[in-house]
Amino acid sequence: MTTGVVYIHASPVALCPHVEWALSSTLDASADLEWSPQNAETGRMRATVDWTGPVGTAARLASALREWPGLAFEITEDPSDGVDGERFSHVPGLGLWRGSTSANGDVMIGEMQLRALMDAQPDSAGLAAELDAVLGTAWDDALENYRMGGAGADVTWLHRQVG
């Protein structure tokens, strides 16, 4: 078992019930989210959901939510015994990004991935661009205004039924 957080940063109002259905279906738990206006984008709503479930739940949640390209979200899964954490980010126009995370939430890049990037890039500018892509810099830049737009909002807890 592990825990994580779903940050729905920006959802069209009409999509909110579909997001709740996707979360409920994936977690086998009723999702009755506390939606609030997304101050960074007029006409959009935001919600935050803390969850508990089996390892791999974040990937299943990201798969369910990415079906709606107009939705901006992030999903984290905390590390557990023998398993790195994960972060998924989805931004309209950029699509879905995934990164492995350490215990403190930093994105981790493996040795072999770094070696492949260095071998494929003839100069430091090319390597820097590839590292930005692997680190999800474009997604972080796009989501930063949304992250600030949720200060003080309510959080909902969801627990997957196990057994």
The domains of the chain, with CATH numbers, are: 2-108+138-149 (3.30.70)
Q: Give me the residue label for tokens 């592990």.
A: 2
Helix (H) or strand (E) holding 88: strand 85-91
Query: Strand pairing partners for 44?
Result: 12
Confidence of residue 163 (pLDDT cuts 50, 70, 90): very low
- Asked whether 21 and 67 are in contact (CB, 8 A), the reply is no
pLDDT in tens, 21-74: 999 999 888 888 999 999 999 999 999 999 999 999 999 999 999 988 799 999
Where does residue 85 fall: left (phi above 0), alpha (psi -120 to 50 degrees), or beta otherwise? Answer: beta
pLDDT, average across residues 124-148: 90
Q: Residue 29: what pLDDT?
A: 87
Q: Give me the residue label for tokens 């206006």.
A: 37
Q: What number of CA atoms fall less than 13 Å from residue 65's CA on the CB side?
A: 32
What is the dihedral sign for C-alpha 100, 7, 29, 60? negative
Q: Residue 157: what pLDDT?
A: 52
Helix (H) or strand (E) holding 128: helix 124-135
**In whole angstroms, how large is the CA radius of gyration of the chain?**
17
- Asked whether 40 and 145 are in contact (CB, 8 A), the reply is yes
Whether the predicted model's global pTM rises above the 0.75 cut: yes
pLDDT in tens, 87-135: 999 999 999 999 999 888 889 999 999 999 889 988 888 889 999 999 9
